Structure 1
Amino acid sequence: MRTIFVLFDSLNRSAIGAYGGTAVPTPNFDRFAQKAATFTKHYAGSLPCMPARRDMHTGRLNFMHRPWGPLEPFDNSFASILSENGVYTHIVSDHLHYFENGGSGYVNAFDSWDFIRGQEYDAIKVLTQPPVARLREKFDARHYPMGGLQDGETITRRNTDQTTWRRLRHATNTIFMEEERDYPTAKCFQSALEFLELNRAADNWFLQLECFDPHEPFTAPQRFKEAFATGYKGKILDWPIYEKVTNSEEEVAEIRANYAALVAMCDEYFGKLLDWLDRENAWQTTALVLTTDHGFLLGEHEWWAKNKMPYYEEISHIPLMIWHPSMAGSGGRSVDGLTQTTDLMPTLLDFHGIDIPEEVTSHSVLPVLKGTAPERDTAILGMFAGPICVTDGRYSYYRFPEDPDGQALPAYTVMPSHLENLFSDDEMRSAELAQPFDFTKGSPLLKITLDPDIGETGQACVANWHDGSCLFDLENDPGQLDPINDEVVVSRLCVAIVAHLLKHNAPEEIYSHYGLEAHRAGMTGRN
């Protein structure tokens, strides 16, 4: 058995023709959908990037215990488990966060990895004194603020603000993207296809091909951009700040067109993978999974991006397509049952006939591919300290904290790292030793009060939303434009939230933080 797991970042469900999208031609995603099972009610779990990947590795939600961070020593990783059972695991990725403090352990779980340089603010080549004046002429200051920086100035990560540093680094990267083959996505597929060629006669391997695109910045080769030309004549706008939309209609159209161009590139290169499977007649020996971690707002709900607003359907309702050799003759169908990101881990193990660890709280979808119904009635998702979203596929309910102070929820971890930096001295001085959870294999944890300004939690969403908890009827209001009042549905979904929290051995603080004590007492008999 061989498995190819293709993971794009921020691939919107609505951008794919097979899911009803019309703005971007996606002939290769659609071509795969004609062969695969297309899951129509697949949802994210922990958000954003690294929390989502921890879900994928471990088969359980992690957002109620900790925000962004590394794999923990006690975590089950599907990559490690596959390797321990004789399946060779390899990852090809340009996802730069894997190589920061907050992304450690993930690629190390594989037998081998190939890291492609140059995505976002990961430098292709280093210019210690970048040509600021030249770049300022090319890039719009709203997306690429360069302030008072000057040519001939040495710019370091710590002598300028984070936004300027990151965006100037990417602008500098574009100097070295002269040909299409220089783009990270092109290099990722080239590396993955080389792995496939070298191992086409072998069995018992797992390849994860993970592309950061179409995550922002929306930088695509010119031929893809030309297909979505808007007539816009201004400076480059391709990396929206996470904020309310204040752009003109012309500018919004241009930003969306830049995203569309990048999706089109992802689709075309995905087609090269399908071509290899066709050419090698490998479908009967190889499973193929295509999905993403979360979506991205492109002006919907008057917002750009994610993290700072409720996890609307555009963010949380994501694509999943799966081919398995056992499906021969029964592909091209829709699976309408509810599934979630965490289901990937047990599914990948199940593909290779490997037992699923007892700590896993999700479900393999392999039985679904063979004709049974999914096992999930509801799913919860969220960011640490942000609202908890619960959906049953018909309704989505966002339960906001009763206490807006995010510091009321401590983090539980033995890997105290933020995205880039380790926990601060102040954070570490707050640490207490906490008892093990049921998934930590007897390991106690550090209970740590986080700096509320770290920017990796759902606190920004809580601060930006003043209307309290809200319920949407997705059947009658798929755009989530008009919240409804239905106490019976709310009560039922609150019970579902508590059931998921109990299943994940959530910290005690979480029930009072979200005002769920009464619902918990009704389920457990606790006062």
Structure 2
Amino acid sequence: MKKKRNRYSSFYSQCMQKMQQFQCFGTLLFCVFICLSVSCTPKVEEKKPNIIYILADQWRASATGYAGDPNVRTPNLDQLAKESFNFRNAVSVMPICTPYRASLMTGRYPTSTGMFLNDLHLPPTELCIGDALVSGGYQTAYIGKWHLDGQGRHSYIPPERRRGFQYWKAAECDHNYNHSHYYAGDSDEKRYWEGYDTFAQTKDAQQYIRDHAEMEKPFALFISYGTPHFPHHTAPEEFKSRYPLDEITLPANVPDSKKSEALQEAQGYYAHSEALDKSIGDLLATLTEMGLDENTLLVFTSDHGEMLGAHGVRPKAKQVPLGESARVPFLLRYPAIHGEKGMVVDMPITTPDIFPTLFGLARLPIPETVEGEDLSSVVRDGVEKEERAVLYMQLAPWERGDYSREYRAVKTGRHTYVRSLDGPWLLFDDSTDPLQMSNLVSNPKYSDLVQELDAKLHDLLREIGDDFRPAQSYIDEWGLVLAPHGSIPYTNDSDAGPQSPQTPQRQGKGE
């Protein structure tokens, strides 16, 4: 009997072990199911990203090491490009300062806001990105060049005209880099950055980052540098000495008649650029120091480019539809979304797209007034939008020579197409002709492409209600009162261009 009991006991024990094993296996299966369910669920970003928008002035797309410029040294930007979405076909919606900045702030086109000349006042009726960020729970800051107030380049800009930016160390416009002014807080006292303003503004931005790193609300910091915009000769000697004139290589589209002047300007231009690259490296180091890299949405770009004598256009020029003027660098890094590796994006992007794309990535509601397209899905999914074309333009050109025309232009991933008031004007295959030395618009082989791109251009113009008229028509429409001797009046800035005794004012529309 004892042996039988032991046999049953042994059988019972074996059964219990099997059941325990089955329970463990079931538990394991349940855990695996839960893990798979979690891993298949899209990543939830619990905290909104900090936003840092680094805006250079007149930095053309080709003037970096990562873009292939044989002269300039930009190690920090080169590394940033590896970690970012590099939109290498980014264009300025209108390659001149104030119109770009107005489009950035509103997500709208210059024909919609009336902001198509320098030194205009952005209408208070326009909803701006700073106001929208505050409504979205952000702390906002602006450091550097503003150029949207239209009351004179050295005028005090009171808080109610700062368009939602709370922390403020800025000036309307000042390119005297070694003695540039700014206003801070609620004070109308004119202050001056210590030394070379690129370095001083960077230090201030670094301190802002440190002060706001652990606050409950995320921050949005816009740093608007004046460099590498001319005057180029005022760049720090330490950096200018690294660019001897006889070691600078000019591209083949700079004619002999412009080479001497172009070399002189290029030396300071590249020096400013390298100094700014150093500052960007300092900013990135501060983000790392404060542990903010992963959840910071960072952009590096420029408002427009610089001709530097290309195509015979004077050095220091912009506004024209050519790549040196219209194309800008655009790097976007947001590791919380795309990880540590970046991606080269051929799909084009233009200025009005920036506002909605930033808001799409930050999961903020995009105002209905915005006219640009939210491209955040490109960053989230790593998939470009095929056949995309973007619009850029010039309404009232003040450049002299062959390129002094009103124009509307289309940029695709491969081509640049430009139409003047007289009809199709320029067509370039940017993939095979990056210096745009062969205009294909009259070549019969490309007639179908001209028609296709012209149709895309008109589609884009219809979307924003622009019927492409002569410049004076827009000036009259918006009630602008300009200086008698030019469409681009300047005040208080002797290095910037034609002088004007007055700041342009609006009479009626937009105010």
TM-score (norm 2): 0.69
Residue 78 of structure 2 corresponds to 30
Offset at 1:476? 2.8
SS at 1:478's partner residue? coil
Offset at 1:287? 1.3
Q: Deviations over 1:403-461 (max 9, x none)?
A: 9xxxxxxxxxxxxxxxxxxxxxxxxxxxxxxxxxxxxxxxxxxxxxxxxxxxxxxxxxx
Residue 85 of structure 1 corresponds to 136
SS at 2:127's partner residue? coil
Residue 381 of structure 1 corresponds to 392
- Are the equivalent residues in 1 in contact too, given 2:101–2:147 (CA < 8 A)? no
Q: How does 1:251-262 map to 2 (within 5 A)?
A: 251-262=261-272
What CA distance in whole angstroms lies between the structure 2 residues aligned with 1:345 and 1:376?
A: 22
What CA distance in whole angstroms lies between the structure 1 residues aligned with 2:161 and 2:430?
A: 35
Offset at 1:314? 1.0
How many equivalent pairs are there?
A: 388
Q: Partner amino acid for 2:420?
A: F
Q: Partner amino acid for 1:397?
A: Y
Residue 431 of structure 2 corresponds to 475
Q: Deviations over 1:490-513 (max 9, x none)?
A: 2222221221111112258579x9
Offset at 1:81? 0.5
Structure 1 position 288 matched with structure 2 position 308:
no
Residue 207 of structure 1 corresponds to 221
Residue 415 of structure 2 corresponds to 395
Q: Partner amino acid for 1:71?
A: L
Structure 1 position 498 matched with structure 2 position 458:
yes
Q: How does 1:173-188 map to 2 (within 5 A)?
A: 182-188=195-201
What CA distance in whole angstroms lies between the structure 2 residues aligned with 1:125 and 1:307?
A: 22
- Are the equivalent residues in 1 in contact too, given 2:142–2:221 (CA < 8 A)? yes
Given the superposition, is the C-alpha separation of residues 125 and 59 from structure 1 closer, same or farther in structure 2, using an over 3 Å criterion?
closer
Residue 489 of structure 1 corresponds to 449
Q: How does 1:301-380 map to 2 (within 5 A)?
A: 301-305=311-315, 310-370=320-380, 371-374=382-385, 377-380=388-391
Gaps of 5+ in 1: 127-175, 233-243, 404-467, 515-527
Given the superposition, is the C-alpha separation of residues 106 and 254 from structure 1 closer, same or farther in structure 2, using an over 3 Å criterion?
farther
- Are the equivalent residues in 2 in contact too, given 1:350–1:364 (CA < 8 A)? yes
Given the superposition, is the C-alpha separation of residues 330 and 302 from structure 1 closer, same or farther in structure 2, using an over 3 Å criterion?
same
Offset at 1:291? 0.6
What CA distance in whole angstroms lies between the structure 2 residues aligned with 1:94 and 1:275?
A: 23
Given the superposition, is the C-alpha separation of residues 359 and 309 from structure 1 closer, same or farther in structure 2, using an over 3 Å criterion?
closer
What CA distance in whole angstroms lies between the structure 2 residues aligned with 1:123 and 1:267?
A: 18
Residue 411 of structure 1 corresponds to none
- Are the equivalent residues in 2 in contact too, given 1:10–1:292 (CA < 8 A)? yes
Residue 189 of structure 1 corresponds to 202
Offset at 1:363? 1.9
SS at 2:132's partner residue? helix
Offset at 1:395? 2.1
Given the superposition, is the C-alpha separation of residues 309 and 267 from structure 1 closer, same or farther in structure 2, using an over 3 Å criterion?
closer
- Are the equivalent residues in 2 in contact too, given 1:39–1:319 (CA < 8 A)? yes
For the aligned residues, what is the CA RMSD? 3.3
What CA distance in whole angstroms lies between the structure 1 residues aligned with 2:211 and 2:227?
A: 25
Offset at 1:117? 9.2
TM-score (norm 1): 0.67
- Are the equivalent residues in 2 in contact too, given 1:2–1:286 (CA < 8 A)? yes
Q: Of the two, which has the highest radius of gyration?
A: 2
What CA distance in whole angstroms lies between the structure 1 residues aligned with 2:432 and 2:80?
A: 30
What CA distance in whole angstroms lies between the structure 2 residues aligned with 1:112 and 1:282?
A: 20
What CA distance in whole angstroms lies between the structure 2 residues aligned with 1:255 and 1:125?
A: 21
What CA distance in whole angstroms lies between the structure 2 residues aligned with 1:95 and 1:215?
A: 14
Given the superposition, is the C-alpha separation of residues 125 and 216 from structure 1 closer, same or farther in structure 2, using an over 3 Å criterion?
closer
Offset at 1:210? 0.8
What CA distance in whole angstroms lies between the structure 1 residues aligned with 2:272 and 2:107?
A: 30
Residue 53 of structure 2 corresponds to 5
What CA distance in whole angstroms lies between the structure 2 residues aligned with 1:256 and 1:339?
A: 27
SS at 1:182's partner residue? coil
Q: How does 1:262-277 map to 2 (within 5 A)?
A: 262-277=272-287
- Are the equivalent residues in 1 in contact too, given 2:360–2:376 (CA < 8 A)? yes
Q: Percent identity?
A: 24
SS at 2:347's partner residue? strand
Structure 1 position 76 matched with structure 2 position 114:
no
